[in-house]
Amino acid sequence: MKTICLATNNKHKVEELQEMLKGIFEVKTLEEIGCQEEIEETAETFAGNSLIKAQYVFNQYKVSCIADDSGLEVEALNGEPGVYSARYAGEHGNHEKNMDKLLSKLEREKNRKAQFRTVITLILDGEVEMFEGIVEGEILKEKRGNQGFGYDPVFVPKGYNTTFAEMSLEQKNPISHRGRAIAKLKAHLESKI
């Protein structure tokens, strides 16, 4: 089975991808291929950041790679937090502070429309492909649920009345932004086999 690196050390993303690509690829993390560096995300778009990460891994480690960049875009905040989703409140990956800042900014806002967006870059044997997934929904006024990560406790996808944090992985994966992008990626990979 071919090995592919997922350019992240985020355990949640690795678990999701390993589950979705089971039987197609052996998925390895940055740590597992020996990459200790922090790959700087300096682009202004999700596509740009995912491309930076994928190219870095492919160029430095000569291994096929999948990289993604994802975030939450809130309509009333002109697309914030966007590419700054993970460090919205300053410190990278502090989910509670990020959600608190978001809820505070939306406190008096009636328009709660938001969407999660993921862009996945695949570099397979030197060829670059990109896949996008979007899920629309809205931001609640309070956190609910303890599954998932990031903004999952405050985001309810369109057509549902539960947050991503109240869903199991089996419920969330097929409808999530990442799940939708990975489904396109998976179909592409299967067409290559």
**Which amino acid, one-letter code, is at 64?**
S
Give me the DSSP letters along 36-80. -SPPP---SSHHHHHHHHHHHHHHHH---EEEEEEEEEEGGGTT-
Per-residue pLDDT at 149: 84
pTM of the full structure: 0.89
Burial classification of residue 171, based on how many CB atoms lie within 10 Å of its CB (0-12 exposed, 13-18 middle, 19 or more buried): middle
Quick check: is 152 catalytic?
Answer: no
Catalytic annotation, pick one of 68, 69, 100, 125: 69
Give the pLDDT of residue 193.
64
Along the 193 residues of the chain, how does pLDDT read in single tens digits? Answer: 788 899 987 777 787 778 778 888 888 889 999 999 888 889 999 999 999 999 999 999 999 999 999 999 999 999 999 999 999 998 777 899 999 999 999 999 999 999 999 999 999 989 999 999 999 999 999 999 998 789 999 999 999 999 999 999 889 989 999 889 988 998 998 887 6
**Amino acid found at 39:** I
The strand order across the sheet containing 113-124 reads: 26-28, 3-6, 65-74, 113-124, 127-139, 155-157
Alpha carbons 93 and 57: distance in angstroms, whole number: 22
The structural domains of the chain, ordered by start, are 3-181 (3.90.950.10)
